[in-house]
A and B are shown apart, each in its own frame.
Chain A
Amino acid sequence: MRTAPLGHNVSLERRAWNIRRHAILMGEVQGQGYIAQALDVADILATAYFHAMRYRPDDPAWEGRDRFLLSNGHYAIALYAALIEAGIIPEEELETYGSDESRLPMSGMASYTPGMEMSGGSLGLGLSIAVGKCLGLKRKGSDSRVYTLFSDGELDEGSVWEAIMSAAHYKLDNLVAIVDVNNQQADGPSTTVMGFEPLTEKLEAFGWFVRRIDGNDLAAVRAAFDAAKAQHGQGKPSMIIADTLMGKGVPFLEAREKNHFIRVDAHEWRLALDALDERKPS
């Protein structure tokens, strides 16, 4: 059965809803997963894959594609959902998530999954790889862009700031980085684990074009991606700071006490699907 509607007349709202649904179904398979993060980032992924990026579902390695680097590898469940929605991974594979021999391991790795451009898991790698890819694309004369998603907790990693400095130094205007500020990392709220504000001012001072938005407001997300894409040729890398709500779209998960790894009981996966289904966009 295919729930992902193909074709071009599908709204971003529906794409985001489908991504959330695929993610919940995968979580149900395993009985666990970073589902709250997948739900918070679904609007960003829907915008990336169905508004901003250029790619060919039947040829994930197509040279002319935009690259998407998932730095926060534990968000793989969300990216798989987007790749399923984009037609890069068959929907049937959803049932293999996190299982032996699956192409969909719980932490994203380049060698396992079509459309997965890097191996995450160890946090803070993506921006450095993105810098290399952007340099390489410019050297090839390609007009493709590199998108990289990372999490606010990764701002603690020194390597992230090494990459931030170098992207400005090399004027990588083909780079669009998105930081998911859900304010939750392993040991608690990100801002209390290690303060990173004022983030917009910091990144602007580092020479980046910055847009800070509500990452669950699709119109705002779309406008931010458009603004970032328009920076191509302007000599500055772009950062979209997306403030998001963990569990977005499933009210009882939105309301649940915030944790890096939110507990979902066995019977609650169905309840989450029901809650989502009640909010199905046209």
Chain B
Amino acid sequence: MKPAAPRTDAGKPRLTTSAMIASIAGEGQRTKPAPFGHALVELAKEDGSILGMTADLGKYTDLHIFAQAFPDRYYQMGMAEQLLFGAASGLAAEGFTPIATTYAVFASRRAYDFIHQTIAEEDRNVKIACALPGLTSGYGPSHQATEDLALFRAMPNMVVIDPCDAHEIEQVVPAMVRHKGPVYMRLLRGQVPLVLDEYGYSFELGKAKLLRDGYEVLFISSGIMTMRALEAAKALVSDRIDAGVLHVPTIKPLDAATILACCAKPGRLVVVAENHTVNGGLGEAVAGLLMREGVHPAFRMVGLPDEFLAAGALPTLHDRYGISTEALCARVKGWLK
């Protein structure tokens, strides 16, 4: 088979990929370094049950901060994700609270059965924190976890969290440890954008929060797409479009009451935006909820296409696949025409 010609998006400068980028922050954006690692250290000072575990990705999941602070509470399991999660189950069964980290692709694809059987089925108190969620690496499908939310949503007993920024991650860490049972959280690492502190936001497990109201459009979003939706809502003001943003960081269990109440407001276009394939993520979760409950607003979904995504520079890819702020604005304007 002839290899496909390299793709370029006409009229755009050709950017280069940073293989394992440390941050998804935009230029000049406020950031905080390694919020997950630092929050975990703070929590572990109070809670002696917390242990850190990784499969050769301590440095790349910000768990090295914890390892430096608590070297004797840190387990390097080698590049062996199945072992990582099986052993985490065993430690949880002995009363500890293991925080197991790797990349989202490896947890969701390589170790799925181990998480399913040894953690979820046995209802073990393991917290799984995974970097490079969705399209946050330009490395190609091997590192782009575009289906992790669908996979973990489908797993009984599993709580699924997709935080937006550093402010939220700092609050997700203690909240997921307070919750007894398995949790999967998407992790942003390195210099992580700081956004939600400006909205007086606080994370509550299982709660969706309206960050901004608007009478024409309601974005429903999680993870970095909430950041993008907030930017889009600001940008759309100049087009005289009034857009609100409902942030849904807990993908499972879904905050049905809040979502239904927001969607029942008449005359609004609902746009679910997610950094995930359109198959089986937040968009379909919300769509299913609305159908089941008989709430039928005008409804659109923004997410990654059902295909293997290209390698390349993230700004290029986010534009191409429609999850950049500009792409989001353009689509909303098109839908409102």
Contact = CB atoms under 8 A, between A and B. Distances in A.
B89 A129 contact: yes
Contacts of B114: 125, 128, 159
B255 interface: no
Main secondary structure of the interface of A (DSSP, over half): helix
Contacts of B77: 166
A117 interface: yes
Nearest to A130: B90
A7 to B, nearest CB: 32
A245 interface: no
A135 B75 CA distance: 9
Contacts, number: 96
A128 B87 contact: yes
Contacts of B121: 109-111, 119
Contact of A128 (B96, B98, B118): B118
Interface stretch (B78-86, B293-301, B316-324): B78-86
B95 to A, nearest CB: 7
A134 interface: yes
A158 interface: yes
B118 A129 contact: yes
Contacts of A114: none
Interface stretch (A43-51, A52-60, A96-104, A136-144): A136-144
B80 A166 contact: yes
A118 interface: yes
A162 interface: yes
B93 interface: yes
A111 B93 CA distance: 12
B83 A131 contact: yes
Interface string B65-83: 0000000000101101011
A203 B179 CA distance: 40
B123 A162 contact: no
A129 B75 CA distance: 14
A132 B87 contact: yes
Given A110-B122, A136-B95, A129 B87 contact: yes
Contacts of B96: 136, 139
A133 B92 CA distance: 8
Interface string A165-181: 11001000000000000
Given A111-B123, A166-B77, A159 B90 contact: no
B82 A159 contact: yes
B98 to A, nearest CB: 8
Contacts of B117: 119, 121-122, 125
- Pick from B90, B91, B121 the residue with the most CB of A within 10 Å: B90
Interface in B91-117: 91-96, 98, 113-114, 116-117
B88 interface: yes
B93 A162 contact: no
B94 A162 contact: no
A245 B96 CA distance: 40
A136 B96 CA distance: 7
A20 to B, nearest CB: 29
A128 B83 contact: yes
Contacts of A166: 77-78, 80, 83, 87
Given A118-B122, A122-B113, A129 B82 contact: no
Given A128-B118, A165-B78, A117 B83 contact: no
Given A122-B117, A137-B94, A159-B114, A132 B122 contact: no
A139 B123 CA distance: 22
A119 B114 CA distance: 11
B88 A132 contact: yes
Contacts of A35: none
Nearest to A134: B90
Nearest to A73: B117
A55 to B, nearest CB: 16
Contacts of A158: 82
Contacts of A136: 90-91, 93-96
Contacts of B80: 159, 162, 165-166
A38 interface: no
Contacts of A125: 86, 114, 117-118
A163 interface: yes
B44 to A, nearest CB: 14
Contacts of A169: 78
Nearest to A137: B94
Nearest to B92: A132
B82 A128 contact: yes
Contacts of A140: 94-95
Interface string B112-133: 0110111001110000000000
Contact of A131 (B51, B87, B122, B123): B87
Interface in B111-158: 113-114, 116-118, 121-123
Given A118-B122, A131-B87, 7 more contacts: A119-B122, A122-B117, A128-B86, A129-B118, A132-B90, A135-B91, A166-B80
Interface of A: 109-111, 117-119, 121-122, 124-125, 127-137, 139-140, 158-159, 162-163, 165-166, 169
24 contacts: A111-B121, A117-B93, A122-B113, A122-B117, A125-B86, A128-B89, A129-B93, A131-B87, A132-B88, A132-B90, A132-B94, A133-B90, A133-B93, A136-B91, A136-B93, A136-B94, A136-B95, A139-B94, A159-B86, A159-B114, A162-B82, A163-B87, A166-B77, A166-B87
Q: Which 7 A-B pairs have the closest CB atoms?
A: A132-B90, A128-B86, A136-B94, A132-B87, A162-B80, A162-B83, A133-B90
